[in-house]
A and B are shown apart, each in its own frame.
Chain A
Amino acid sequence: MSAVATGPVATGRNLGARIVDVFTSPKSGPVLVTGVLFLLMFAVGGVRYRGFLSGQVFLNLFIDNAYLIVLAIGMTFVILTGGIDLSVGAVVALSTIIAARLLQAGWSPGVVILLILAITSALGLLVGLMIHVFEVQPFIATLAAMFLARGLCYIIAKESITIDNPFFVSMANVRIPLGYRLSITPSVIIALLALAVAVWVLQYTRFGRTTYAIGGSEQSGMLMGLPTSRTKVLVYVISGFCSGLAGVLYAFYTLSGYALTAVGTELDAIAAVVIGGTLLTGGYGFVLGSALGVLVLGLIQTILSFEGSLSSWWTKIFIGALLLVFIILQKVLTSRRT
């Protein structure tokens, strides 16, 4: 299934009808709705709070959520095939703790990062093989991987380890100026590069097309001669790799490794992907939408911190309520046509 948003041929139809069509198509509709809601929330925040409507507040969304963007990328691949990956939060924690431990032992940062990416990709490969060869349901296979990764965290180190390696510290502190007193961190560039690669892979390669095809109908894809088995295993390798990369970015961000870090991050990633318009049953969705979903989650946090007086329980209720609003809006807007 082509993922390019091609509106219906609009000969002799006015612009209004075309817009309605684009917004209510199951492919592009949810992403556009999310985009509009994001702008609305930003505008409402700008009206309510002083200093909200600034470029740096917008860029901070990227700085604070760079790791979540990378996680959501991997999750998008998996969900597009109709699977799910519950292990990503635990793998992020495992990556931070491996990084902290090895840097403490005096390893060079480059080797550590490569090793982390190799380990998490290998874990993804194992999960993928378990799902494909042994036909274990993704929910259960990745749940086992989650237990394994968290357990390994505890075995490596129970306490939080601070990272004082000069390279990691510089990655945390360096700001890349963009002019007009705006700046970003190197992590943002890494995340955006990953995003660009993911968009290219999903839209313009055979692998990407096969990913969509598996989500649409695995059997049809297989009968068409697409390499479904290989692709199905590979999406979990990609998710593992992305989790490792996200873990490295998270280590840049927090400068520590801790076994209990990033608990429940897998749900944030899944929520971001869903808000971004990817169907959990697979086949429909865009990786850019998932990035937009991450920004929406980040914006909720920002608004809550600007609001200031809200307690932590209201944060949870608020996020749940917004998740609901997004899902229902998408549902209503996209179901009109069918």
Chain B
Amino acid sequence: MRNTLIQALSHRLFWPLALLVILLTVNVIAVPGFLAITINNEGHLFGSVIDILRNGAPTLIIAVGMTLVIATRGIDLSVGSVCAIAGAVACSIILGSPNPGDPGVVTVAVLTALALSLVVGLWNGFLVSVLGIQPIIATLILMTAGRGIAMLITEGQILTVDSAPFKFLGSGFLAGVPVATVVAAAILGLVALLTRRTALGLLIESVGINPEASRQAGVRARGLLFTVYAVCAVLAGIAGLILTSNQTAADANNTGLFIELDAILAVVIGGTALSGGRYSLTGTLVGALVIQTLVTTVYTVGIPPIATMVFKAAVVTAVCLLQSPTTSAALARRRTAGPASPRPVATPEPAVTR
């Protein structure tokens, strides 16, 4: 029993999961029926938990891509702008067609938006892998210019679309589950399958841990980096389409604003280090859920909206401090010092310095 507890405490997902449970408990205390899920007469699932899963989908989708980028020791700041570009392209195509409700038109719009996202991702990959520019600066270029491009497409207007097939993506239901949630789950599953059931994940990690050594071992880092940035941008495009469809409008200035920060935060809360290497998609899932539950908690508990950001800062700081090597070392010392300790717990390896 005690050993299991110690093992659980030292698991790297312990603190994020504990936080998630605490947040949910707070919600349940504030609203007793918080966890209840009802089925309405159309067979759709409803409830606060479903809302968290649906509204958290765009962040999760981007965070999955971001996890892979971060695992290669990179970062992608341009995802928010890519969201705006994808939404702008899709909306302008749908608005430009004579028949906005036609599924064919919507398909073309979605595919064009994703193709453009792919181009953006390849551009980022080119800057990082071929020109060797630091990822944060390489993607900063498109973070700045990307919103400009999105505004160029929408000509500075907010494009409101009224198209049933397009709206389905953001607010529709598939077998009772919100479409956005289904898409996010499918993407998470697919990426997990592709990187964990093949050697791909290992190669990505090796590039992140030591680019030079992996190059000498024959890993094609350049192609991997291209792929990773392209995947991240396409996923950002999908998230952008979901966001735009949910608002039924493309707003070049505000679609996906600051979503890159939330996505990076989700990845870090999930235990993937920004210094690259070992990554955890499960952790990212937990991280994204924590962030979305945090937002929901603000509303249910009735924290004044003006204090939301301070609350967020407090939670982020708490998670980071609890996860830090210093804290776990201190905890380990306390455990080994205790007389009831059945066997000495191995001291944690010293913190890796950059």
Contact in complex: B134, A280 (CB < 8 Å): yes
| CB < 8 Å A-B pair total | 132
The answer, yes or no, to whether A134 is at the interface (CB within 8 Å) is yes
Contact of A320 among B144, B307, B326 (CB under 8 A): B144
Given A313-B156, A315-B148, A135 and B324 touching (CB < 8 A)? Answer: yes
The answer, yes or no, to whether B311 is at the interface (CB within 8 Å) is yes
- Bound-state CA distance A136–B4 (Å) is 27
For chain B, residues 140 to 156, give those with C-beta under 8 angstroms from any C-beta of chain A.
140-149, 151-152, 156
The answer, yes or no, to whether B3 is at the interface (CB within 8 Å) is no
Given A82-B354, A140-B274, A140-B320, A324 and B326 touching (CB < 8 A)? Answer: no
Q: Which residues of B sit under 8 angstroms from A327, Cβ to Cβ? A: 133, 137-138, 141
The answer, yes or no, to whether A270 is at the interface (CB within 8 Å) is yes
The answer, yes or no, to whether B99 is at the interface (CB within 8 Å) is no
B interface size (C-beta, 8 A): 50
Contact in complex: A151, B311 (CB < 8 Å): yes
Say how far A304's CB is from chain B's closest CB, in angstroms: 12
Say how far B74's CB is from chain A's closest CB, in angstroms: 12
Contact in complex: A136, B320 (CB < 8 Å): yes
The interface stretch among A52-60, A152-160, A189-197 is: A152-160
Contact in complex: B148, A267 (CB < 8 Å): no
- Bound-state CA distance A323–B273 (Å) is 28
- Bound-state CA distance A324–B147 (Å) is 16
Say how far B40's CB is from chain A's closest CB, in angstroms: 36
Contact of A317 among B140, B145, B312 (CB under 8 A): B145
- Bound-state CA distance A104–B54 (Å) is 45
The interface stretch among B105-113, B185-193, B261-269 is: B261-269
Q: Which residues of B sit under 8 angstroms from A151, Cβ to Cβ? A: 306-313
Chain A interface SS verdict (over half): helix
User: 1/0 contact trace for B232-258 toward A, CB 8 Å?
Assistant: 000000000000000000001000000
Contact in complex: A158, B131 (CB < 8 Å): no
Contact in complex: A331, B312 (CB < 8 Å): no
Contact in complex: B140, A267 (CB < 8 Å): yes
Q: Which residues of A sit under 8 angstroms from B138, Cβ to Cβ? A: 327
- Bound-state CA distance A289–B72 (Å) is 30
Given A218-B353, A328-B131, A280 and B136 touching (CB < 8 A)? Answer: yes
- Bound-state CA distance A154–B156 (Å) is 28
The answer, yes or no, to whether B97 is at the interface (CB within 8 Å) is no
**Residue of A136, A139, A141, A270 ringed by the most chain B CB atoms within 10 A:** A136
The answer, yes or no, to whether A226 is at the interface (CB within 8 Å) is no
Contact in complex: B309, A148 (CB < 8 Å): yes
- Bound-state CA distance A335–B133 (Å) is 12
Residue of B nearest to A147 (CB): B313
Contact in complex: A137, B261 (CB < 8 Å): no
The answer, yes or no, to whether A314 is at the interface (CB within 8 Å) is yes
Given A151-B310, A317-B145, A320-B141, A140 and B265 touching (CB < 8 A)? Answer: yes
- Bound-state CA distance A312–B148 (Å) is 8
User: 1/0 contact trace for B251-289 toward A, CB 8 Å?
Assistant: 010000000010011001000011100000000000000
Contact in complex: B306, A135 (CB < 8 Å): no
Q: Which residues of B sit under 8 angstroms from A170, Cβ to Cβ? A: none
Residue of B nearest to A90 (CB): B309
Q: Which residues of A sit under 8 angstroms from B346, Cβ to Cβ? A: none
Q: Which residues of A sit under 8 angstroms from B148, Cβ to Cβ? A: 313-318, 320
User: 1/0 contact trace for A271-292 toward B, CB 8 Å?
Assistant: 1001000001100000000000
- Bound-state CA distance A218–B310 (Å) is 32
Q: Which residues of A sit under 8 angstroms from B313, Cβ to Cβ? A: 144-145, 147-148, 151
**Residue of A154, A313, A318 ringed by the most chain B CB atoms within 10 A:** A313
Say how far A278's CB is from chain B's closest CB, in angstroms: 11
Residue of B nearest to A282 (CB): B354
Q: Which residues of B sit under 8 angstroms from A209, Cβ to Cβ? A: none
User: 1/0 contact trace for A123-143 toward B, CB 8 Å?
Assistant: 000000010011111011101
The answer, yes or no, to whether A108 is at the interface (CB within 8 Å) is no
The answer, yes or no, to whether B132 is at the interface (CB within 8 Å) is yes
Contact in complex: A141, B320 (CB < 8 Å): yes
Q: Which residues of B sit under 8 angstroms from A14, Cβ to Cβ? A: none
Given A137-B274, A271-B140, A144 and B309 touching (CB < 8 A)? Answer: no
Supplied contacts A271-B144, A315-B148, 12 more A-B pairs, CB within 8 Å: A136-B321, A139-B274, A148-B314, A155-B310, A271-B140, A280-B136, A313-B252, A316-B145, A320-B142, A320-B145, A323-B141, A327-B137
Residue positions of B touching A, CB distance < 8 A: 75, 127, 131-134, 136-138, 140-149, 151-152, 156, 252, 261, 264-265, 268, 273-275, 306-314, 316-317, 320-321, 324-327, 351, 353-354
- 26 inter-chain pairs at a CB distance below 8 angstroms, sorted by A residue, are A82-B354, A130-B317, A130-B320, A135-B326, A139-B264, A140-B320, A143-B261, A143-B264, A147-B313, A148-B310, A148-B313, A151-B309, A154-B307, A155-B307, A218-B353, A280-B136, A311-B151, A312-B156, A313-B149, A313-B151, A317-B148, A317-B149, A320-B146, A323-B137, A323-B144, A327-B133
